[in-house]
Amino acid sequence: MSLSESERRRFIDDGVLIRRRAVRGPLRTRATVLVDHWLRDAYDPQQLTAYTNRSFAPELEDHPDLLALYHDGPLADLVGQLLHPATCAPVSRAQIQVRLPDGAEQPVKAMHIDGVSCPHLEPSDLRTFTLIVGVVLSGSATDDAGALHYVPGGHHRMARYFAEDWTLGQTAQTPDDVDAQDGTAFTAEPGDVIVMHHLVPHRVGLNHSPEPRVMAYFRVSHAQHPDLALRALTDPWLEYPALADLARAETV
């Protein structure tokens, strides 16, 4: 499943790549059943805030049926094409995010960048990565059903923010003009996939549908990300060598 030139340019402009029905059949079914069983048998309502801040079903993060979503379908190849000729670090765990239906007292996630000034981390902790891949396992496709909302092109604004107005340890996650945005909803059916640049601001709202919205996420890092992390906050294409050349060509 090769990336087209238009998809590469769209990723440069928007920081987002969407593939519809990319994960289908037994791959999605096994992962969905696994999480459904966990929600029925192991979910602890007292841990809702911790789950929301980090991951639901944390004990399943390295389960083969979840990792297969990334490794056994087209996703690893798509990521490889975006990062080429660079390589990524091994992807060995999944993050499950669930937006529960109306009635659950679940925290709302404001606009943010993952791993930077997170409320559940020390301000000086930096837990960044290169990009994130999200797979819809179940839920409504409407924008008020706990959908991910993202700011197209927001990675350019965030790079300027990190270069000009931010220092490590600062608690503000996004500038005011980004924080005020509602974002574009990822309205999606089960099996749809979103690949999002780490610097794209995003949030998740309440789920007003009658069913949970379940996403499996995979955080992907450039193989040298620990050495590049701070510089990558101000240079969106530092970890994407081929896209960096394309982005420069577009500005000439």
Q: Looking at the domain assignment, is residue 84 inside a domain?
A: yes
Is the pLDDT at 172 greater than 80, yes or no? no
Q: How far is CA 127 from the centre of its chain?
A: 13
Range of the domain at 124: 5-243
Q: How many domains does the chain have?
A: 1
57 CB neighbour count, 10 Å cutoff: 22
pLDDT of residue 116: 86
Using a cut of 0.85, tell me whether the model's pTM lies above it.
Answer: yes
Q: Looking at the domain assignment, is residue 213 inside a domain?
A: yes
Write the DSSP symbol of residue 106: P
Q: Looking at the domain assignment, is residue 76 inside a domain?
A: yes
Q: Looking at the domain assignment, is residue 251 inside a domain?
A: no
Q: Looking at the domain assignment, is residue 249 inside a domain?
A: no
Q: Looking at the domain assignment, is residue 53 inside a domain?
A: yes
In CATH, what number is assigned to the domain containing residue 110?
2.60.120.620
Is the pLDDT at 123 greater than 60, yes or no? no
Is the pLDDT at 58 greater than 50, yes or no? yes
Is the pLDDT at 156 greater than 50, yes or no? yes
Euclidean distance between CA atoms 195 and 134, whole angstroms:
6
pLDDT digits 0-9 by tens, 194-236: 999 999 999 998 899 999 999 999 999 999 999 999 999 999 9
- The angle formed by the CA atoms of residues 44, 204 and 130, to the nearest 5 degrees, is 100
Sheet with 193-197, strands from edge to edge, namely 16-19, 193-197, 131-138, 213-220, 95-99
Mean pLDDT of 44-72: 96
- Candidate from 35-39, 110-114, 188-192 with smallest mean pLDDT: 110-114
Q: Looking at the domain assignment, is residue 169 inside a domain?
A: yes
Taking only Cα atoms into account, the Rg of the chain, rounded to an integer number of angstroms, comes to: 17
Q: What's the number of CA atoms in the CB half-sphere (13 Å) around residue 130?
A: 25
Which residue did the predictor score with more confidence, 103 or 159? Answer: 159
